[in-house]
Amino acid sequence: MNTNRGLLIVLEGIDQSGKSSAAQRVCEMLEKKGIQSIKQPFPDRSTDIGKLIDEFLHGKNLPQQVVHLLYSANRWEVAQKIKETLEKGITIICDRYAFSGIVYSIANGLDERWCNSADSGLPKPDIVFFLELSLEDAEQRRKTMKTDRYENIKFQSKVKCEYEKFKDSMKWTCIDARQSKEEVALEITSIIEQQLPQLSNQPIKTLDLI
Ligand code: DGP
């Protein structure tokens, strides 16, 4: 059994809920407390698969099934690195994970069971934080930002609806994303700090979505 490994933390939420900024701030806050941590965005656009995803987000036409598998492959290509990093005692803050893959693809009309299978077997997150924001608040934030093909209220309402199902069935930790960036990050950091002693002594589990 691994002792004192890092934690795999996932931030999920609709677009504009503040995941990326929270991931950055939480890492900084943990580091200040002496807890080594790194952030891992998904999609990870630095890889070859990530570059294809980026082209898709900016207009390239691909079948939805291919899109789903690309996002999943993008997670699988760093799965081993995630495990090794956790084993070194470093906590990872993921900006999105398999759950984004599933909710976005179901919102695009794909079959739920088919969607679940591609990400099953990935390292299982220790804590999933769901940054809760209304569609109206997200739309307000969107007005000042550059957007991609998924960032419109009609699509985001489907995504939100799928997220709600996960949130309840998987006991996610909900965070009020209307708070300031600082407050959101502080809340997440203090929960991680609280849970770290207990969770870091447990083996890394495997995500079972089927
Ligand atoms: P982000 O870099 O977090 O803004 O994500 C870019 C876009 O990709 C965003 O509109 C949400 C979407 N997205 C993120 N992860 C997945 C996924 O796994 N599958 C699908 N279909 N879309 C995703």
| 39, β-bridge pairs | 93
Tens digit of pLDDT for each residue in 138-184? 999 988 777 777 778 999 999 999 999 989 888 899 999 999 999 99
Question: At 23, which amino acid appears?
Answer: A
Query: Quick one: tokens of 138?
Result: 């997200």
Does ligand 1 come within 6 angstroms of the Cβ of 96? yes
Backbone φ and ψ for 160, nearest 5 degrees, come out as -60, -40
Q: How far is the CA of 29 from the centre of ligand 1 (A)?
A: 26
CA angle 20/15/184 to nearest 5° reads 50
**Ligand 1 centre distance from Cα of residue 24 (Å):** 18
Query: Which residues are CB-neighbours of 99 under 8 A, at least 6 positions away?
Result: 10, 12, 128, 163, 166
Phi, psi of 171, rounded to the nearest 5 degrees:
55, 50
Those residues with Cβ within 8 angstroms of residue 203's Cβ, 6 or more apart along the chain or in another chain: 1, 2
Task: Give the model's pLDDT for residue 1.
Answer: 41
- Domains of the chain, start order: 8-199 (3.40.50.300)
At 57, which amino acid appears?
A: L
pLDDT score for 135: 96
At 2 the pLDDT is 42
- Residue 15 Cβ < 6 Å to ligand 1: yes
99 lines ligand 1 (CB under 6 A): no
Q: Which atom of ligand 1 is nearest to the CA of 151?
A: 10
Average pLDDT over residues 37-41: 98
pLDDT of residue 210: 84
Give ∠ CA 8-106-102 in degrees, rounded to 5: 10
As a whole number, the mean pLDDT across the chain is 95
17 lines ligand 1 (CB under 6 A): no
**Nearest alpha carbon, ligand 1 atom 10:** 150
Atom index in ligand 1 nearest the CA of residue 53 equals: 8
The pLDDT score that the predictor gives to residue 3 is 54
Model pTM score: 0.96
